[in-house]
Structure 1
Amino acid sequence: MASGFCENCSRLLKEILVCLRKVCREFEQKIGDFFRELSQCTCFRRTPHSGLLRRRTQQFPSLQLLYDEETQLLNQESLHTLSKLAFSENHDLQTTAAMYFLHVSHHLKSPLPDAFMEPVMALLLSTDPDVQNTISHSLVNLLAQNNACRELVIEMGMLVPILELFQSGDATTRCHSCACVTMLASSESKSEAIMLDCIMPLLALAKSYEPQVQQNATWALLHLTQSDWSTRILCEVGAIPVLVLLLQSSNSEVQFYSCSALCNIAAVREHHPKLLSMGGHFLLKSVLTLVSSSVQKNSTQACKCLQTLTKNVLIQEQLMELDCVLPIKALLKSSSRACRESAVTLLSALSAHPPNNDVLVSEGLLEEIGQLLHHQTSVVITHSCTIISNLRSSSVGQQAVMESQCLSGLLRALLSPSLSDETLLHVTSCLHHLMTWDELKSNLSVTITSEQVSRLVRLSRQMQNPQLSYNSAAIISTLKMTDEMVLLLRPHYITMLEYLLVFLKKKDVKLQHLCIVTVLNLKKDGGFLCLLAGSELEAQLCKGSNMAVLQCDSPTDPLSPRLQVLR
């Protein structure tokens, strides 16, 4: 049977049909993708509850969650219905009430009337895990948005069921209960009575033999140490001994939380007497034991805690008495970057105290640092430079530096493309100071490569960071002009003349002096003399020679070498 359309129209209609089918298939695919993603959200995992909620709102018209205004959500009829549901022994009815509060907690823009807290209390006492999860989530939201009066929550005795949720089999419920306790303890009213009501049960739970309960309690205590006010209360009621004992827990999470909490406490000097009040250096021994933990984040955190403690000289001395160097030094070989960085940072802090330096050198720290410099991260390099600079002044430090790989490590660090100017400043400053030793100066001239010389020249000519430029040029000025060194320097003579001219024109006497010293050193090569002759640098030196005569009062004057440059 004929379609009644011409050939062209039939063709077009078929193409339209094909396009429509293609569009429908793509639309179907996209809709399917959207719903698969939505189904992963916890909102859609509660579909039984959502269906239940819809049925309940039909039975209780006052619970019109999705359409009513806030004032209608919180009217007397809703309160009456919620009370019936919450105090019911039927878990489905309790779930309906809990879901109602969860909805309210997401949309409420003003404080929840006090009367509505009674049903919340009843729901917290429910034995149904889903009800516990939902109502604890609701309470977290209400507290976080200051829509629930924290003082009222405490006065109503809600803290007891909230703390009991620490033992819930559901991890989300446990997190909610911890969050509730933390927010209650940090009440803006700063009532010590409220704080004590929260902290004392937490400390009791922290001593629990139930690992999960102990872990959650310690997590909550850690969060309380993030406030100076709550930290002071914690210390006053005896939290420090509890936290120190928890360092020896068999649970690695408990160890981490307690160590982190002690680190926060140690950051405030007024708490140090209480930290030291435990006899036999018990705190330091416990943290040192944790340094050797097989759990990397725990050993890292232990180093951070000790670093905070070492700001107190007395604690630092006690730490050295406990032979702390060996376990800390062992972390420098860790495969974990965080472990290496935390260990070298702690050792850098210890090296800043001169009485420790001979011990640090005798323990072979400089040998380790020389090897560590090959792990080129900014933190490692910066603190390694600090350690070398601090230890080189000790009675045995100079020899140890020369016998170690520190010099080659510093030279290698120069070539790292990822280092910031600040880190390079540490490297060049350390090298510059080491070049005051003739033996190391000779070693540098033998070991330095063409790439490293090029790097120093480039750093010398950049003037954005004057100190970095000065340090780099100062290192070059110490190089012994051997035949090999001359070959390395010759390609850079023109560039060097440029930055030396800039130095000479500066009003800074230190830069002028460095220019003259460098020229005196480079004059040993006839090739440099040829370039210098007739250059602007030579003209400036001649121009300044008369001024130098006026300024040089003694042979030790920093400008005195200027008189000899043209001879």
Structure 2
Amino acid sequence: MASGLCDTCSRLLGEFADLWRKTWGELEHNMKEVFREIRRCTCCKMTPERRTDHDLPTLHLMCDNETQLVNQETLQALNRLAASENSDLQMTAAVYYLHLSHHLKSPLPDAFMEPFMALLLSTDLDVQKTISLSLVNLLVKNNVCKELVIGMGMLVPILELFQSGDPTAQCHSCACVAMLASSESNGEALMVDGIIPLLALAKSYDPKVQRNATWALLHLTQSDWSTRILCQAGAVPVLVLLLQSSDSEVQFYSCSALCNIAAAEEHHTKLLSIGAQYLAKSLLTLMSSSVQKNSAQACRCLQILSKHVLIQEQLLELDCVLPLKALLKTSTPEWIELGLALLSTLSAHPHNSDILVGEGLLEEISELLHHPRYTAVIITHCCKIITDLCSSCLDEQVVMESLCLSGLLWALLSPSQSDEPLLHVTSCLNHLMTCDALKSKFSATVKPEHVSELVKLSGQIRNPQLSYNCAAIISKLEMIEEMFQMLKPHYITMSKYLLAFLKKKDVKFQQLGIATILNLKKDGDFSSLVANSELEAELWKVHAQTEETRQLLQMIETLSPCSVNPELSQHKY
């Protein structure tokens, strides 16, 4: 194939290539001669430090195989490098440890921890930053023993990095402290010298430093003892202030730390002593955060504190329902559960109910019951809130217009429901039917499939209270023609569970059985079914026992004190 060049150009390029090969050969020969002479010179004999320097290529070219990473030869080289006064050689060891921290999958042998101390005490800040980062990585992966790190005295140089003024060094040292604080046995050593510097760094203007310091404080709140020391040292105002941080991670860490502190009632006085509703305002603001984990964590903290009437009053004054409604609309069940837990605490106090009903909370709860992804916890909280709000609601029309009944009926038919949520659903329905208006609405709303489910659950024996709740709902139904038509297919099944109720020793089941029979006898078909049946015989047996009991009680009432104790008649008043 033609080159595209003329004969003259091709010739010139060929001559240039020949000249280059000749020139390079001579240069290569001369370079070899020069280096050969240099190696013969006595000034280039290898000193101990140069022998260590000779180890550098070996360390840098190590592969990721653990056997080669942590062998004895490597340990000796690392010890020599760490002990050197040459910062470049120390950096080589620090970089190697950083490489090791990324690739090591098994515990690091204790012998390899010895060079750490020398590198942490290096006069070169870059060496300290690199080795402290490698220590963080090893601690995170649980490749080194936290107690060993403390026992070797490494905490002192780690804490000294707090004062370095370098944000990166401070971040690494805070991260080290956070990981070491996760071991309760290290708490005392950390608290002696670490708490005040940590609180100072938590107020840093550098977001990375602030984040790591707050993370370390969070770990210190996981122990009762260290939490108590933190509160005494003034950590609560600092953590509350950090709720307003522009960094979402700092907000999360500080809010989580406050949750841990609030878990112990002994610290509530300090938490509530922050004036001007500052804590409640800050947590409510965080509840409105677009970062949902922060919103949920703020709700958790408020729920813990809401047992105090003071916090409840503050929350209602600050219109807490709006952010709570937003939390209920999230797609994460765990966060919905947190919002409901707080609302459940608030609704338990009658003086809060009218405000919550006025804010449209019943509608929000009803919508949750219609959602196909609800959990047993969500069902439980919803039923409790509905029961509380309807118990104290003065305006029955508000309850009538809500979707509470339809939501509860929807939950009743869920195929995935277990006994526990069904128990709460039926208990709530039974409670609502004590109101005549709601009883009428329920009787008009109920469908044949609901009746079938109630009858089926009334006859089950695994959970007596669930059986009682369902039977109680049936006993309160308004016996109109439409209701008779729905119940007729179940008369035989109902007769069986009613017979079982009458035979129980528990009086409340007997009374419920009698009330249900009385209600059902409004239908002639049921009366005909019961006539001369075992159910009627058992009914008369209960009647006879009741009459006998009534007569005995009447005899006791007619006995005068004198007839019980004749000596009393001789006593003069």
- TM class by shorter chain equals 0.7 to 0.9
Q: CA deviation at 1:433?
A: 1.1
What amino acid is the match of 1:543? K
Aligned residues: 493
RMSD (Å) for aligned C-alpha atoms: 3.6
Distance change in 2, residues 1:535/1:290 (3 Å): same
The 5 Å alignment of 1:180-199 reads 180-185=176-181, 194-199=190-195
Report the equivalent of 2:568. none
Report the equivalent of 1:60. none
Q: In structure 1, what is the Cα distance between the partners aligned to 2:123 and 2:144?
A: 16
Report the equivalent of 1:363. 359
Q: Is the 8 A contact 1:486 1:525 kept in 2?
A: yes
Q: Is the 8 A contact 2:181 2:216 kept in 1?
A: no
Q: CA deviation at 1:189?
A: 5.6
Q: In structure 2, what is the Cα distance between the partners aligned to 1:251 and 1:424?
A: 43
Report the equivalent of 2:147. 146
What amino acid is the match of 1:301? Q
Find 1:250's aligned residue among 246, 253, 274.
246
Distance change in 2, residues 1:66/1:242 (3 Å): closer
Q: In structure 2, what is the Cα distance between the partners aligned to 1:431 and 1:222?
A: 44
Show structure 2 runs of 5+ residues with no match: 1-54, 554-573
Query: What TM-score does the superposition give when structure 2 sets the normalisation length?
Result: 0.76
Instruction: Name which of structure 1's ranges 177-186 and 344-353 shifts more when overlaid on structure 2.
Output: 177-186
Identity %: 57
Please say if 1:89 is aligned against 2:95: no
Q: Is the 8 A contact 2:119 2:127 kept in 1?
A: no
Instruction: Name which of structure 1's ranges 338-347 and 301-310 shifts more when overlaid on structure 2.
Output: 338-347
Q: Is the 8 A contact 2:340 2:382 kept in 1?
A: yes
Q: In structure 1, what is the Cα distance between the partners aligned to 2:362 and 2:139?
A: 55
The 5 Å alignment of 1:397-546 reads 398-546=396-544
Instruction: Name which of structure 1's ranges 412-421 and 325-334 shifts more when overlaid on structure 2.
Output: 325-334
- Give the secondary-structure state (helix, strand or coil) at the position aligned to 1:427: helix
What amino acid is the match of 1:314? L
Find 1:278's aligned residue among 274, 281, 284.
274
What amino acid is the match of 2:356? L
Q: In structure 2, what is the Cα distance between the partners aligned to 1:179 and 1:279?
A: 32
Question: For each residue in 1:454-504, what CA deviation from the matched residue of structure 2 results, as whole angstroms up to 9, or x when unmatched?
Answer: 111111111111101100110011111111111111111121111111111
Q: In structure 2, what is the Cα distance between the partners aligned to 1:193 and 1:317?
A: 41
Instruction: Name which of structure 1's ranges 226-235 and 505-514 shifts more when overlaid on structure 2.
Output: 226-235
Distance change in 2, residues 1:116/1:224 (3 Å): closer
Distance change in 2, residues 1:115/1:417 (3 Å): same
- Give the secondary-structure state (helix, strand or coil) at the position aligned to 2:148: coil
Q: Is the 8 A contact 2:175 2:212 kept in 1?
A: no
Please say if 1:53 is aligned against 2:82: no
The 5 Å alignment of 1:159-308 reads 159-161=159-161, 167-168=167-168, 177-185=173-181, 194-308=190-304
Q: Is the 8 A contact 1:371 1:409 kept in 2?
A: yes
Distance change in 2, residues 1:151/1:110 (3 Å): closer
Q: In structure 1, what is the Cα distance between the partners aligned to 2:354 and 2:152?
A: 57
- Give the secondary-structure state (helix, strand or coil) at the position aligned to 2:147: coil
Q: Is the 8 A contact 1:246 1:258 kept in 2?
A: yes
Question: For each residue in 1:314-343, what CA deviation from the matched residue of structure 2 results, as whole angstroms up to 9, or x when unmatched?
Answer: 322333333323432343344554443322
Q: Is the 8 A contact 2:430 2:469 kept in 1?
A: yes
Show structure 1 runs of 5+ residues with no match: 1-48, 58-62, 556-567
* Bigger radius of gyration among the two: 2
Question: For each residue in 1:113-151, what CA deviation from the matched residue of structure 2 results, as whole angstroms up to 9, or x when unmatched?
Answer: 878633454399434976554344346646545332357
Q: In structure 1, what is the Cα distance between the partners aligned to 2:137 and 2:122?
A: 15
- Give the secondary-structure state (helix, strand or coil) at the position aligned to 1:481: coil
The 5 Å alignment of 1:300-319 reads 300-319=296-315
Instruction: Name which of structure 1's ranges 130-139 and 363-372 shifts more when overlaid on structure 2.
Output: 130-139
Q: In structure 2, what is the Cα distance between the partners aligned to 1:496 and 1:167?
A: 75
Q: CA deviation at 1:231?
A: 1.4
Distance change in 2, residues 1:249/1:208 (3 Å): same
What amino acid is the match of 1:351? S
What amino acid is the match of 2:92? D
The 5 Å alignment of 1:12-31 reads none
Q: In structure 1, what is the Cα distance between the partners aligned to 2:124 and 2:509?
A: 74
Distance change in 2, residues 1:307/1:553 (3 Å): farther
